């Protein structure tokens, strides 16, 4: 009788445990309407490659910088750069011994906002920023059609020309009226051409293109420098509808001047953050976390150290996996395994290069898996045992 009563009681206890989630107070998900699909019969299998010196050599060779397409510049070298005048630029024209034809020197003129500056002050600013707003009453503002009006000369086209070319044209036009005219032409405000700098820089915004050539590094520097979370390895340049990715780290760390491209009107520079340069560390580590690549590089040893190391009692040191390509090749990722019990494992862990969105996973030892199973089963067995004792 007692044995039968115990069996009935055991069934009731197990049933109550299985229904506990529905009966217990608090948040609970009712899964009665959910029907999980069975796994497909042709589920894919994945090949695991063991990490060896040969494997690392192949990966490093594949990651070597490839010959990339760089944007074409109108000037072969920086020394050949010449500024060309455009609409909305403000010109200062000096005709020696003819003050009536000369831009008033030392006179304050409007910068297009709420401030004014002198002509001399403008000339002393080689990195003059773009000046918005109205025309300058004391300078020669290039109109939207690219022309200016000058006494004795009339309206003349200057857009697309250099200050030297404008000077020669005005001198030739004034020759019938002035004996041996001596003319100087300068750009007082650069407002026709600009580049946009966006992203993780300290002062994003437009930068004027001036008579001083502006390169990629110049643009980042003049925007206050990169922010702490900036990814200089993947600086993006948009030019004429085409997209280019530049590696400023290769320029700063290795002296690759090919990345320091000369910028031109209409260019858009975007310095992204490092959210796309993450590595995920999971499994039996002390602090599962995401790790940012450091100047574009990271190793297994770096990632495990950042995560606090593997758990001494729970981790399986033979199962240090690197899963690669889940973002671009979800059906055929590359999987590598490192056996940390081998003598050369520490050296290999400091040499294996990780890539963005790699997953570093530390497996669980068999003993820990068994212990965790017992931790789930023991409470039920204890309940059954005490129920039996009570029914005696």
Which domains are present in the chain? Answer: 84-189 (3.30.1950.10), 194-273 (3.10.560.10), 277-392 (3.10.560.10)
The 3-state DSSP class for residue 85 equals coil
For residue 223, the Cα-to-chain-centroid distance in whole angstroms is: 16
pLDDT of residue 127: 38
Q: Residues near 86 by Cβ (< 8 Å), separated by ≥ 6?
A: 142, 146, 159, 160, 192, 193, 265
pLDDT of residue 34: 76
Compute the half-sphere exposure of residue 69: CA atoms within 13 Å on the CB side of its CA: 4
Give me the chain's average pLDDT, please: 80
Q: Where in 85-172 does DSSP place strands (E)?
A: 90-95, 108-110, 116-118, 140-141, 147-150, 154-157
Burial class for 280, CB neighbours closer than 10 Å (0-12, 13-18, 19+)? middle
Q: Residues near 305 by Cβ (< 8 Å), separated by ≥ 6?
A: none
Q: What distance in Å separates the CA atoms of residue 192 and residue 159, rounded to the nearest whole number?
A: 10
CA distances from 42 to 22, 38, 45 (A): 36, 12, 9
Inter-residue contact 346 to 308 (CB < 8 Å): no
Inter-residue contact 140 to 103 (CB < 8 Å): yes
Residues of the chain above pLDDT 90, percent: 43
Low-confidence ranges of the chain (pLDDT < 70): 1-28, 65-68, 105-138, 367-374, 377-378, 380-382, 384-386, 388-392
pLDDT of residue 392: 63
pLDDT of residue 259: 86
pLDDT of residue 366: 76
């Amino acid at each position: 009788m007692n044995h039968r009563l115990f069996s009935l009681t055991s069934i009731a206890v197990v049933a109550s445990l299985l229904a506990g989630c529905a009966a217990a107070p608090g948040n609970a998900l009712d899964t009665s309407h959910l029907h999980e699909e069975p796994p497909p019969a042709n589920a894919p299998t994945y090949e695991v490659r063991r990490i060896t010196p040969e494997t690392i050599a192949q990966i490093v060779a594949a990651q070597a910088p490839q010959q990339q397409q760089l944007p074409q510049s109108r000037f072969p070298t920086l020394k050949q750069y010449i500024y060309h005048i455009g609409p909305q630029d403000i010109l200062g024209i000096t005709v020696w011994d003819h003050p009536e034809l000369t831009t008033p020197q030392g006179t304050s003129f409007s910068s297009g906002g709420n401030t004014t500056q002198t002509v001399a002050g403008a000339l002393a600013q080689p990195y003059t920023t773009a000046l918005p707003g109205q025309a300058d009453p004391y300078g020669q503002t290039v109109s939207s059609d690219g022309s200016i009006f000058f006494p004795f000369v009339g309206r003349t086209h200057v857009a697309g020309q250099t200050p030297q070319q404008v000077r020669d044209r005005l001198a030739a036009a004034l020759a019938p009226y002035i004996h041996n005219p001596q003319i100087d032409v300068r750009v007082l405000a650069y407002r026709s051409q600009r580049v946009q700098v966006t992203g993780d820089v300290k002062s994003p915004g437009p930068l004027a293109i001036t008579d001083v050539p502006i390169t990629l590094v110049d643009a980042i520097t003049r925007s206050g420098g990169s922010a702490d979370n900036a990814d200089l390895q993947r600086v993006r340049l948009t030019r004429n509808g085409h997209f280019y990715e530049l590696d400023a780290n290769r320029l700063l760390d290795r002296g690759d001047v090919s990345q320091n491209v000369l910028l031109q009107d209409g260019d858009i520079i975007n310095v992204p953050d490092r959210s796309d340069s993450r590595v995920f560390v999971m499994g039996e580590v002390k602090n599962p976390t995401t790790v940012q690549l450091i100047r574009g590089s990271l190793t297994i040893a770096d990632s495990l150290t950042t995560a606090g190391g593997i758990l001494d009692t729970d981790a399986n040191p033979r199962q240090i996996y690197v899963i690669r390509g889940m973002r671009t090749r979800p059906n055929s990722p590359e999987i590598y395994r490192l056996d940390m019990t081998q003598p050369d494992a520490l050296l290999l862990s400091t040499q294996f290069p990780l890539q963005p969105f790699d997953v570093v996973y530390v497996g669980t030892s068999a003993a820990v898996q068994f212990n965790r199973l017992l931790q789930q089963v023991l409470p039920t067995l204890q309940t059954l045992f005490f129920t039996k004792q009570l029914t005696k």
